[in-house]
Structure 1
Amino acid sequence: MTPPSKSQAKAEAKRAFLIEQATICLAEKGYAHVSLRDIAKESGVSLGILHYYFASKEELLLEVIASYKERFIAELEREVVAAPLDNFFPALAAVLGRSLLEDRKLHRLWYDLQAQALYTPVFLEQVHHTRNRLHDLIARMLKRLQTERGAALAVDVSAASSILYSVIDGMILQCLLDESRTAAEAISRFQLALHHVLESLFSSGSPATHPVERGD
């Protein structure tokens, strides 16, 4: 494979930098309150340069979300799907808890995109693509618990995946909206609820996982 030329490498680095700056702006203020001019100003480039790399704010938001979700999914693949089964639940709870703590504003932007997708078709395809990948990842986790531990699901894998995804998605949103609690309190409640949901999905009452201990 031919390595990229210096000009190509420079253009790719510039594009990555602009996506990084756009991520900061959009995550801080939300899609409706940020213009391409705002992003160009924060990036220290002209509006023309930004338009050279991205035709519209919609295209830039899609790049931001794709970049963030790729990183999030890769982390789940590495630390949860491939984790020893004895560490399955703690690994899942740890990744989700850490993501809520470190990427709170990016999660908020993800819900912003989903709301925009109700009215903007160009966003709908990205939302479906990302949700389908997360559904598939959850299904593989559950199938592994079934085959390697003989843990029987109370419903079929497809239904269980949809239930677990919907519950996680809803609980993350609740954590983002619940400003009366500290981040640690919200994450602790989230992890405990997640454990109970996982238990309820298995007819035996336990998928051979262990809950994260709650702090005082």
Structure 2
Amino acid sequence: MASTAAERPARVSGIDKIERRRVALAESALKTLGELGYARTSLREIANNSEFTHGVVHYYFRDKIDLISYCVRYYKTKCARRYDEVVETATSAEELATGFLGKMTQTLVEETPMHKLWYDLRAQSMFEEQLRPDVEEIDKLLEAMIWRILSRYADLTGTSPSVDAPTAYALVDGLFEQAVVGYAANPDRTPALLTDRLMQVLPKLVTA
């Protein structure tokens, strides 16, 4: 008797299997990439610090740029949705600012190597043309993330954004990049300094 659709086990397509393996490789590679940075990391180095062989890594990614681009895109795409819950649930400007800054300082402290890798990759894209499309795509995602926060902040304060989305992103991201650089030298003071600076900037990005 033929089994029904409900009784048959779900089949995973070949594409899904490949993507799942690429995600697994990316998650494994991120720690090494975050520690060593772009220039010092090779596919062999990644394989040596993971459960996967060099041949397996090379099978799923054609070269180092392909793997690193995928890793950062995978990580930053998740980051771009990090603040959505705060935006959706905040009922006051103070609550939104507190939630936003709390999550931003948390990711600064807990995920510093990943942010260092992102800024490293973004700088390298000025010299590596192959990196530029991925960097531009990630920048757009992060810009949209900051714009969602600023738009909600404006709604809650009865104001309007005083700058456009690229400018808001450049200002907030610039402060965060400074914090990522400063955290290595002064981990105790940097999170609070980032919070203070963003609290100074945020009200200036809206106008009545």
| TM tier, smaller | 0.7 to 0.9
Q: For each residue in 1:185-206, what CA deviation from the matched residue of structure 2 results, as whole angstroms up to 9, or x when unmatched?
A: 10101001101101222335xx
Query: Is 1:102 aligned to residue 106 of structure 2?
Result: no
Paired residue secondary structure (1:194):
helix
Counterpart selection for 1:60 from 56, 67, 83: 67
Paired residues for 1:29-178 under 5 Å: 29-78=36-85, 80-86=86-92, 87-153=95-161, 155-156=162-163, 158=164, 161-178=165-182
Q: Is the 1:30–1:109 contact (alpha carbons within 8 Å) kept by the matching residues of 2?
A: yes
Q: For each residue in 1:121-168, what CA deviation from the matched residue of structure 2 results, as whole angstroms up to 9, or x when unmatched?
A: 221111111111222222233333334541244x24x2xx33332222
Gaps spanning 5+ residues in structure 2: where? 1-8
Flag the 1:131–1:15 CA change in 2: closer, same or farther, 3 A.
closer
The one-letter code of the counterpart of 1:187 is: P
Q: Give the Å deviation of 1:81.
A: 2.1
Flag the 1:168–1:147 CA change in 2: closer, same or farther, 3 A.
closer
2:199 is matched with which residue?
195
Flag the 1:180–1:9 CA change in 2: closer, same or farther, 3 A.
closer
The one-letter code of the counterpart of 1:82 is: E
The one-letter code of the counterpart of 2:113 is: K
Gaps spanning 5+ residues in structure 1: where? 205-216
Q: Which stretches of structure 1, 4 residues or more, deviate above 6 A after TM superposition?
A: 6-9
Paired residue secondary structure (1:133):
helix
TM-score by length of 2: 0.84
Flag the 1:19–1:95 CA change in 2: closer, same or farther, 3 A.
same
Aligned identity (percent) is: 27
Q: Using the TM superposition, name which of 161-170 and 106-115 deviates more.
A: 161-170
The one-letter code of the counterpart of 2:203 is: E
Q: Is the 2:27–2:71 contact (alpha carbons within 8 Å) kept by the matching residues of 1?
A: yes
Report how many aligned residue pairs link the two structures. 198
Please provide the CA RMSD for this pair: 2.4
Between the aligned partners of 2:10 and 2:73, the Cα distance in structure 1 is: 24
